[in-house]
Amino acid sequence: MPRHNRYDSHTGKYAKDNGPYGLVNREWAINVDQTAKHILFSGQVQGVGFRYTARHIAGRYNITGFVRNLPDGDVEMLAQGPDQDIDNCIKEIQDYFAGQIRDTQIEPVPCNSRYTDFRVTF
């Protein structure tokens, strides 16, 4: 089956076909410029509005993923998008919660097209 360029209504650009069904929207295709990072924030990060502030900050950047509380008192975040956007988002969160964050662990992870927005999960 020949592949053709398809119009991606999310980006407003033509994109190469990513499969036999020509699916190129954000729900099915991962941009090659994207990276993903798994972040753990520890300290006094629960009960201070951390997740909702992180969601608000992430909304300023081209980032998908989630943020959630963990049973051990840490906050977990998965951020996908351009590397610089992720780094800027993390830095802004760290600056905002400088008095609450004791440690931040960041590790690269594979991108997952399942995440099409950034949200607070439980």
In the chain, domain spans? 1-30, 34-120
pTM, whole model, 2 decimals? 0.74
- Token pair belonging to 12: 């407003």
Residues designated as active site: 51, 69
Q: pLDDT below 70 — which residues of the chain?
A: 1-32
Residue 33 has a pLDDT of: 80
- Token pair belonging to 99: 């008095």
CATH number of 34-120: 3.30.70.100
Give the residue ranges of DSSP H helices in the chain: 50-58, 83-96
Residue 71 has a pLDDT of: 98
